[in-house]
Amino acid sequence: MKNKLALITGASSGLGAGFARELAMQGHDLFITARRLDRLESLKKEIEQNYTVRVHTFSADLIDPNGVNNILGELKKQNLEVDVLINNAGFGARVFLLDKQPDDWDNIIRVNVNSLVALTMGILPTMVKNQKGQILNVASTGAFQAVPWLTVYAATKSFILSFSEGLGAELKDQNINVQVTCLCPGPTRTEFHSLADAENIDFPDFAWMESDEVVKIGLNALEKNKRVCIPGTYNKLSIYSQRLIPRNLTTSIVGNMHKPNNK
């Protein structure tokens, strides 16, 4: 029987590479994409040595307005149908809004939001036609409230959470058998924090999770068709406890945690 095919964005490091390893272990063929092709190629080599699955690599920049179309074009060229879509690529910047240029924020919104919607729209029609498919969108615990100093990033993650919940409900209402899960990790050890200038945020040690653990919890939630998944006890408690306190107070607490040293 043919293996299922999983498409993973942002597979060159961190959670994305973890999703690739885990889904390959479960017997999925992979279509892995990111900008750094050398990383994708070495991951392909590692995975194909360990598992009897096929790995397709494809370099695409999701800041580029043609990035998603290039991915969809490659799928078409190779006659590949995606069974599992992991919208994982994303990045942020921890800095006062006016200390970046509009284009910098635009780039974050393009990768985190525009490309996620465009790729979902490109792949969903086949899933709907086949009456099967799974979509895992990676948001963040930052989706549940404003995160001052990571304001634009957190707003993109709120979009992903709302988009996933809305789309999941639309599909369910129409009895379309395509699952949508939104994974909302908290602090996870990947390259994310150094790239976002967010290394010295004052999270307690026990708040940090390993990326492999987050990946397993996320895929398990997708398998169980959970709409929203917050991995880890610290993350769950910090999100659920917000329901008991005023929003302004939450914003202020979160802002104090994320404030850069030079501000």
Distances (CA, A) of 113 to 37, 122, 159: 22, 14, 7
If one asks whether residue 140 binds ligand NAP (CB under 6 A), the answer comes out as yes
The C-alpha atoms of residue 191 and residue 203 are separated, in whole angstroms, by 16
The Cα 40–Cα 59 span in angstroms is 8
Q: Which stretch binds ligand NAP (CB under 6 A): 7-15, 121-129, 164-172, 220-228?
A: 7-15
Nearer to ligand NAP, 124 or 154 (CB): 154
- 72 forms part of the interface with ligand NAP (CB under 6 A): no
240 catalytic? Reply is: no
Is residue 13 at the binding interface for ligand NAP, with CB under 6 A as the rule? Answer: yes
Q: b or e along 209-240 (b: 16 or more beta carbons within 10 Å of the residue's beta carbon)?
A: bebeebbebbbebbeeebbbbbbbebbeebbe
Q: Is 16 in the site for ligand NAP (CB under 6 A)?
A: yes
**In the set 3, 22, 26, 35, which binds ligand NAP (CB under 6 A)?**
35
Contact 172, 125 (CB under 8 A): no
Only one of the segments 30-38, 172-180, 230-238, 239-247 lies at the binding site for ligand NAP (rule: CB under 6 A); that segment is 30-38
Least distance (Å) between residue 141 CB and ligand NAP:
7
Q: Binding to ligand NAP by residue 22, rule CB under 6 A?
A: no
Cβ at position 175, least distance to ligand NAP in Å? 30
Asked if residue 192 binds ligand NAP (CB under 6 A), the reply is yes
Tokens for 180, please give them: 């949508």
Q: Which residue is it, tokens 């040293």?
A: 261
Spatial contact of 87 and 119, defined as CB atoms under 8 Å apart: yes
Half-sphere exposure of residue 55: CA atoms within 13 angstroms, side-chain side: 26
The catalytic residues are 153
Give the footprint of ligand NAP on this chain (CB under 6 A).
10-16, 34-36, 61-63, 88-91, 111, 138, 140, 185, 187-188, 190-192, 195
